[in-house]
A and B are shown apart, each in its own frame.
Chain A
């Protein structure tokens, strides 16, 4: 079975531009979460979606938005890019059940560089 896939792998953008990152969860997983990992730090939670509804949001500005589609894939959008948005963006999918202990499976990430 395919794992979590993310596209693109790498991306270079200029300050002020907008970017869209994409994620496809593991088949059967209805929950997708997004994390930002700045170099040298642990991942920080941005959003979680379950059944196309936002279930949680981290401490990120409104420039960050996301959505989940009927096939459970997801997009993360970041507007008005700042240099500080340069990071590895990780997508994780989950069955999201107590029985699964909310175990999350991560994709390889999208490396965003803002110049």
Chain B
């Protein structure tokens, strides 16, 4: 069975500071991994995805994530936080047989001026 663990339910950073959101996964097969963002009262928007093509994945809004098989991690980073980055972020792993997503518990990112 696949699972995802997001370390830290809340992360707070200052505007301009590095953003680091942690995600560890468990999967018996090479996974597809995703990061989604959710703004209040909205659905999920795909930030980026890992599909084994490259270990460093670049996404929208300046975010990127690095797949580390030895650490079973897929942490999300952004060099400089912006106020508009404040939202909840979800890491997810995909069942490659038909694409069922298993999500982590989410991390709420707060950005202070």
User: Are A45 and B99 touching (Cβ within 8 A)?
Assistant: no
- A50 located at the interface, meaning its Cβ lies under 8 Å from any Cβ of chain B in the complex: yes
Cα A105 to Cα B100 in complex, Å, equals 12
Q: How large is the interface on B (under 10, 10 to 19, 20 to 34, 35 or more residues)?
A: 20 to 34
Q: Given A101-B32, A102-B32, A102-B94, A45–B100 Cβ distance below 8 Å?
A: yes
Q: Given A41-B105, A106-B44, A108-B43, A48–B51 Cβ distance below 8 Å?
A: no
Query: Which residues of chain B from 15 to 41 have any CB-CB distance to chain A below 8 Å in the complex?
Result: 32, 34, 36, 41
A70 → B minimal CB distance (Å): 20
Q: Which residue of A lies closest to B9 (CB)?
A: A40
- B102 located at the interface, meaning its Cβ lies under 8 Å from any Cβ of chain A in the complex: yes
A residues less than 8 Å from B83 (CB atoms):
none
Cα A96 to Cα B97 in complex, Å, equals 10
Q: Given A96-B98, A102-B32, A90–B44 Cβ distance below 8 Å?
A: yes
User: Are B100 and A48 touching (Cβ within 8 A)?
Assistant: yes
A103 → B minimal CB distance (Å): 6
Cα A44 to Cα B92 in complex, Å, equals 11
B residues less than 8 Å from A41 (CB atoms):
105-106
Cα A73 to Cα B4 in complex, Å, equals 29
Contact with B along A57-92 (1 / 0, CB 8 A): 010000000000000000000000000000000101
B99 → A minimal CB distance (Å): 3
Contact with B along A17-49 (1 / 0, CB 8 A): 000000000000001010100001111110010
Chain B residues in the interface with A (C-beta under 8 A): 4, 32, 34, 36, 41-46, 49, 51, 90, 92, 94-96, 98-106
6 A-B residue contacts at CB 8 Å?
A35-B101, A42-B106, A45-B102, A90-B43, A102-B95, A104-B101
List 7 additional A-B contacts (Cβ < 8 Å) besides A42-B105, A106-B44: A33-B99, A42-B103, A43-B44, A56-B95, A94-B99, A102-B96, A102-B98
